[in-house]
Structure 1
Amino acid sequence: MTALFSPRGPSLRELCVQALSSVERGYDLLAPKFDHTPFRTPDSILDATAEALSGLGPFDAGLDVCCGTGAGMSVLAPRCERITGVDFSAGMLAQARAAQPAATFVRADARALPFAEGFDLAVSFGALGHFLPAERPALFAGVWRALRPGGLFALAVGEPPPVLSVSHWATVGFDLAMRVRNAVWRPPFVMYYRASPLPAVVADLTAAGFTVSTVPGLVLARKLAHSDHP
């Protein structure tokens, strides 16, 4: 079957099998070809994040939350002495290890991160859609605990497309299709483009104990140097 996206990308059949799997199993299956799909974080977003972080720091240890195949590690590597990636897909971590052999990788659920004040900088790209709104507080609380006082969390948040654009209606259609799929098929595959609007994300980060600022496409959340937030 003709491969989608690029000659090295997944076929339609492979994507269908992935979509009918759990999130973890689906990404395990997709991992070897993930970087040849549009789902990989675009270099433009990585470059914009790197630019926003230039002049901030210094950063000793960096953490990529939901690191996938390790694309976001390219933002951390030039800025941190030590970098760690965490993801719950063993397949994605295997690809990330091959791409970033000097990094440390941990397999864990991002809703229960196993870190305590070990990092100065955390980043996350393209992961929010995999968390239901009720799960975001646990995600952000775990990042808060993982950061040292004064640590920074840079979270890529896509700009919503104009309501009259094709992209807007494509995301509406995708989210609707996923809701129907999850209503009739188990295990669920959680991926929604419209479940994490910027105001809600900022509110949840603030509730988790961060001070928050935004630049286009990016949220910068700082853990206060003397914060005693739980």
Structure 2
Amino acid sequence: MFGPEGPTLRELAVQALSSVEHGYDLLAPKFDHTPFRTPDPVLDAVAEALAPLGPFTDGLDLCCGTGAGSRPLARLCRRSVTGIDFSAGMLDVARRRVPPAGPPRVSWVRGDARALPFTGAFDLVVSFGAFGHFLPGELPGLFAGLRAALRPGGRFAFPVFAPPRPTHPGFWLLSGFDAVMRVRNALRRPPFVMYYRALRLGAVLEELERAGFTVELRVLPGFGRRADGSPRGRLVVARNDGAPEPGAHTAAGRVNS
């Protein structure tokens, strides 16, 4: 499935019937050959959008997987890049494919994003495609931990893309996936938390602001616009303190989720 180097349907089924942690351990050797890995154009667009907000010294890739996010972070951070993930299998792949020597220095930490072991350690945190693994009730703790891990003035950034309309086949594909996962989790333990449509952007932004962040939305221009003129891709930038950057728009009142 997904080509000769990707996982088979049977391997994906075994993964889905496992815990999230063990499932990703199993998927790790073939993860980069699936659509679940964030595409390079998205990584490059995020790095380009964040570059004017720097310079940054130390960066964290939250839920780093096999380390794809270390490449844009290495372009932005001068001293160190850290990846954290709770899958040992994913981190093993990351260590093999990303050299530790810098600058910046690259290191990997096995840990839970909901209980970050850092205090005031970073001025930039990024995350790519991780929000489907968090339930709505986990966001307050997640964002409180992120804010504690950031230095004053530090930023947490992640890309978001306009969801498909109900008239698009992708809408029904994602909705169907979520429905199957809900049935699976109702029948089997431990649950495999991975939902594409469980969290709405508006709710995420509200929780960020409630946690004490100043939240901004920046357009990722390389992904074009929808028929109604709204951007297909945007970058959420949550700042630990301070006023919005010049040229950015505050999130309030500007989100359609």
TM range (shorter): over 0.9
Q: What TM-score do you get using the length of structure 1 for normalisation?
A: 0.94
Is residue 2:118 matched to residue 1:120?
Answer: no
Which of 197, 202, 212 is 2:215 aligned to? Answer: 212
C-alpha deviation, 1:158, in angstroms = 2.8
Q: Distance in 2 between matches of 1:141 and 1:6?
A: 40
- TM-superposition CA deviations, 1:164-200 (whole Å, max 9, x none): 1001111111101100000001111000001121101
Gaps of 5+ in 2: 101-105, 219-232, 243-257
Is residue 2:50 matched to residue 1:33?
Answer: no
Is residue 2:221 matched to residue 1:223?
Answer: no
User: Aligned letter for 1:98?
Assistant: R
Q: What RMSD in Å do the two structures reach over aligned CA positions?
A: 1.2
- TM-superposition CA deviations, 1:110-168 (whole Å, max 9, x none): 00000000001000001000000001111111111110000011112232112210011
Aligned to 1:90: 88
Gaps of 5+ in 1: 226-230
* Residue correspondences, number: 223
Q: Distance in 2 between matches of 1:161 and 1:38?
A: 17
- TM-superposition CA deviations, 1:87-131 (whole Å, max 9, x none): 000000111111222211111110000000000100000100000
Q: What TM-score do you get using the length of structure 2 for normalisation?
A: 0.84
Aligned to 2:110: 107
Is residue 2:197 matched to residue 1:194?
Answer: yes
* Greater than 3 Å deviation, 4+ residue runs: none
SS at match of 2:163: coil
Aligned to 2:158: 155
- Further displaced range: 99-108 or 86-95: 99-108
C-alpha deviation, 1:51, in angstroms = 1.5
- TM-superposition CA deviations, 1:23-47 (whole Å, max 9, x none): 0000000000000001000112112
Which of 128, 131, 134 is 2:134 aligned to? Answer: 131
Aligned to 1:17: 14
Aligned to 1:228: none
